[in-house]
A and B are shown apart, each in its own frame.
Chain A
Amino acid sequence: MTNMTTLVATNLTKIIGRRTIVESVSFSLHPGEVFGFLGPNGAGKTTTIRMLVGLIRPTAGNVTICGFDVRRDFEDALRNVGCIVENPDLYRFMTGRENLEHFARMLGVEKAEIDRVAELVALAHRLDQRVGTYSLGMRQRLGIAQALLGTPRVLILDEPANGLDPAGIREIRELLRHLASERQMSVFVSSHLLAEIELMCDRVAIIHHGRILREGSVHELISSQREMEFRVGDVARAAEIVRQQGLAFRTEPDRLWISIDENDAPPVVAALTAAGVSVFHAQRRVDTLEEMFLQATGGETVD
């Protein structure tokens, strides 16, 4: 598996003064996957990203990208990465094209590639205008375009959905999925929005107070939390029936949460109805990741 990783972070720790901002964060990225880095604001996401790309020196731990240590072999390591850290801050007093040319010169990339990446993020028509006139969404796309220069194997994007309208978010999501599956890139995406991560990512790490709480495939994390919501007329009577069926559940004044898969729901509905309990609706939770996140973080709000 080691030769199948593009980026490996090992025990990354950052301590400033007495404050531990990031503590022993480890994970690895594989080619062709979108990896989500999920956590509330101030959890240490951006500090971790800054350590990944060498902006901040870790207090302990190290990062290797395509086999090169970011601190020791900075140039070789960073040649394989494109990134946006925090905001897509580009040179506002230059045009989009001048910005891309600026970074292309640093990479030694040909100018033809500029039009190619601009095309990819659908920005070609505004490329010759000053970045100061761009909307946040357009700057976000220009940021992604500059990250794609030089066809890196790892793409690191900090909150890429920021400032985009729903249509824009979908475009970016499709672009990132495309880059992962067609070009075998590793895409690292941080976000504080659970729905985003759930839709976009294959694997997720959840970070809170500088530590990774859980890591796994999105599917795993969701199915470990599978629960169905039943809104019923008589909660006490319904609870009795469900208990008889040997299912785990919890109650609220007007509903029941039962730990079952969607496929196992019809028999339960049938049993309840047969016992004279009215079932108004039954559905699988759509916000499972959110619920899981709240549980994991001790119920703190996400925003």
Chain B
Amino acid sequence: MFVPLVQNETLKILRRRRFTVVIGILFAILAVVTYAQYRQLRFHAQRNWRADIQERIGRYQNNLRRGRMNPTWSRSIHAEINRLQFYLDHDIEPDRPTTPLFVRNFANVAGFLLLPLLIAILGSDIVSAESAEGTDKLLLTRPVRRWKIVAAKLVTLWIFATLTLFCGAILSYVISAVALPRQGWTAPTFTGFQVMRGAFRIDAVRQLPLWKDTLIAYGLEWYALIVVASIALMLSVIFRSSAASIGTMLAALIGGTILTRISPDWSTGKYLFVSALPLADYYSGSPPPYEEMTMPFCLALLAAWAVGATMVAFAIFIRRDVFG
């Protein structure tokens, strides 16, 4: 009895052409970024990368010396210096644009703002649009309990969050393969850079082939997007207009980031879901805004948000009076 409900919700998302829009946006953005990477590749080819890296490290060190900087920034600059130095010491060129690296980085970059927003677009329609268009009156007067209907909507949104990430990965491969070198899945990557109280901990650094690193990054990203989908469902239940629910998600994503960046002393900020969202980023070594935010903390925090949001969504949806 549950599968037909998921089938219905899937059909509605597809027929609304929302997923088409999502794929279109992904395509456009990936095409532009690929072009930029292609330019960078040509630039790289003419340069001595060791000298470039050396110069970058010098620039960062100058920045650090020059002055008072908020601790979040200074920690990320430290981490970046250490990362670059590590590659230099091991004589491996970092960040040379290749298709595998492009796919890998898509998880980091898009996972934080772009993909959550696309999921908010999909999610906003799944409940808000039904109330806005009045179709909820028919949906909720069929012999199906409301919890089943909202559960079907949640599962459908999870499916589409997964699909969005999957399509993003496939598209980033296909598009970047046109312009960038396609080899490099087995190139060594180093993850786990950590800075503890200003000191770089080399013992935490692990070497992985890029394909394995990519799978882990996508796994983490997928986890984050499932959480985002659950929060998107809650917003969609709360707001009766699609614009309001997308807007709130956008405000939460941007506002949360700004908040943690400009007031790193406000330690309550670590409990915002936005703080824990760039899981793949933290995994590769960019430090979270608060030092206490370890990977297990982030995973648990996101799980708590997902469970909380789902409970709120169910409670409201099941009890709500449906007026015109």
Contact A105 B134, beta carbon cutoff 8 Å: no
Q: Which residue of B lies closest to A150 (CB)?
A: B143
Chain A residues positioned under 8 Å from B145 (CB to CB): 74-75
Binary B-proximity of A67-96 (CB < 8 A = 1, otherwise 0): 000000011111101011111011111100
Given contacts A74-B143, A102-B8, A105-B7, contact A89 B321 (CB under 8 A): no
Interface status of A106 (Cβ within 8 A of chain B): yes
Given contacts A83-B141, A108-B1, contact A90 B135 (CB under 8 A): yes
In the docked arrangement, what's the CA distance between A57 and B138, Å? 16
Contact B321 A91, beta carbon cutoff 8 Å: no
How many A-B residue pairs have C-beta atoms within 8 angstroms? Tell me.
80
Query: From residue 129 to 171 of chain B, which have CB atoms closer than 8 A to chain A?
Result: 133-135, 137-145
Given contacts A55-B322, A106-B4, A106-B5, contact A98 B137 (CB under 8 A): no
Q: In the complex, what's the smallest C-beta–C-beta distance from A170 to chain B, in angstroms?
A: 26
Interface status of A31 (Cβ within 8 A of chain B): no
Binary B-proximity of A105-124 (CB < 8 A = 1, otherwise 0): 11110000000000000000
Chain B residues positioned under 8 Å from A79 (CB to CB): 143
Chain A residues positioned under 8 Å from B144 (CB to CB): 75, 106
Interface status of A162 (Cβ within 8 A of chain B): no
- Which bracket fits the contact residues of B? 20 to 34
Contact B137 A81, beta carbon cutoff 8 Å: no
Chain A residues positioned under 8 Å from B324 (CB to CB): 46, 86
Which one of A86, A91, A94, A103 lies within 8 Å of B137 (CB-CB)? A86
Contact B322 A105, beta carbon cutoff 8 Å: no
Interface status of A146 (Cβ within 8 A of chain B): yes
Contact B323 A56, beta carbon cutoff 8 Å: yes
Binary A-proximity of B301-324 (CB < 8 A = 1, otherwise 0): 000000000000000000101111
Contact A85 B142, beta carbon cutoff 8 Å: no
Contact A92 B143, beta carbon cutoff 8 Å: no
Q: Which residue of A lies closest to B322 (CB)?
A: A55
Query: From residue 46 to 84 of chain B, which have CB atoms closer than 8 A to chain A?
Result: none
Most buried by A among B1, B140, B142: B142
Q: In the complex, what's the smallest C-beta–C-beta distance from A152 to chain B, in angstroms?
A: 10
Chain A residues positioned under 8 Å from B138 (CB to CB): 84-85, 89-90, 103, 146
Q: In the complex, what's the smallest C-beta–C-beta distance from B132 to chain A, in angstroms?
A: 10
Interface status of B15 (Cβ within 8 A of chain A): yes
Interface status of B12 (Cβ within 8 A of chain A): yes
Interface status of A54 (Cβ within 8 A of chain B): yes
Contact B322 A50, beta carbon cutoff 8 Å: yes
Query: From residue 112 to 144 of chain B, which have CB atoms closer than 8 A to chain A?
Result: 133-135, 137-144
Interface status of A53 (Cβ within 8 A of chain B): yes
In the docked arrangement, what's the CA distance between A84 and B142, Å? 11
Binary B-proximity of A219-245 (CB < 8 A = 1, otherwise 0): 000000000000000000000000000
Contact B12 A55, beta carbon cutoff 8 Å: no
Contact B134 A94, beta carbon cutoff 8 Å: no
Chain A residues positioned under 8 Å from B16 (CB to CB): 93
A-B contact pairs, 12 of them (CB 8 A): A50-B321, A54-B141, A55-B137, A55-B141, A74-B143, A78-B141, A89-B134, A91-B133, A94-B12, A102-B8, A106-B4, A106-B143
Chain A residues packing against B (C-beta within 8 Å): 46, 50, 53-57, 74-79, 81, 83-87, 89-94, 98, 102-103, 105-108, 146
Top 10 nearest A-B pairs (CB, nearest first) are A89-B134, A105-B4, A55-B322, A79-B143, A78-B143, A106-B142, A53-B141, A85-B137, A75-B143, A56-B321
Known pairs A85-B138, A105-B5, A108-B1. 16 more at Cβ < 8 A?
A56-B321, A57-B319, A77-B143, A78-B143, A81-B141, A86-B137, A87-B134, A89-B134, A89-B137, A91-B12, A91-B15, A94-B11, A94-B12, A98-B11, A102-B8, A103-B138
